[in-house]
Amino acid sequence: MIRAELIAARFSRIGINTVPRRSCALSPRDPVVGFCQGTLLRNEIEAPDPSRPVEATNAAAAALAARFGPGPIGGRCRRS
């Protein structure tokens, strides 16, 4: 999509590189809030009941904390 937009804007020499990185959050809740309340996933969560994002956030944060502990959490991410 990025390449197509650059071509449409008449750029001719386009280079796109993927850079491996690590993400880090202070708690399991931090990335969950981002996904459940700050992305299009929120629309899917709200579709059956608009009050569900908080419930989904709490459940997902509890699941991550149960698996990885309550402290800082990290993982691989890629930036293009």
Tens-digit pLDDT string for the chain (80 aa): 888 999 999 998 999 888 888 889 999 999 999 989 999 999 999 999 998 999 999 999 999 999 999 999 988 886 65
How many structural domains comprise the chain?
A: 1
Predicted confidence at residue 30, as pLDDT, reads 93
Predicted confidence at residue 79, as pLDDT, reads 60
At 17 the three-state DSSP class reads coil
Q: Which two tokens stand for residue 65?
A: 């904390």
Query: The pTM is what?
Result: 0.67
Cβ 10 vs Cβ 62: under 8 Å: no
Q: Which residue's entry shows tokens 């990185």?
A: 21
Residue 2 lies in a domain: no
Residue 46 lies in a domain: yes
Residue 7 lies in a domain: no
State which residues form the domain around 31. Answer: 17-79
Predicted confidence at residue 80, as pLDDT, reads 53
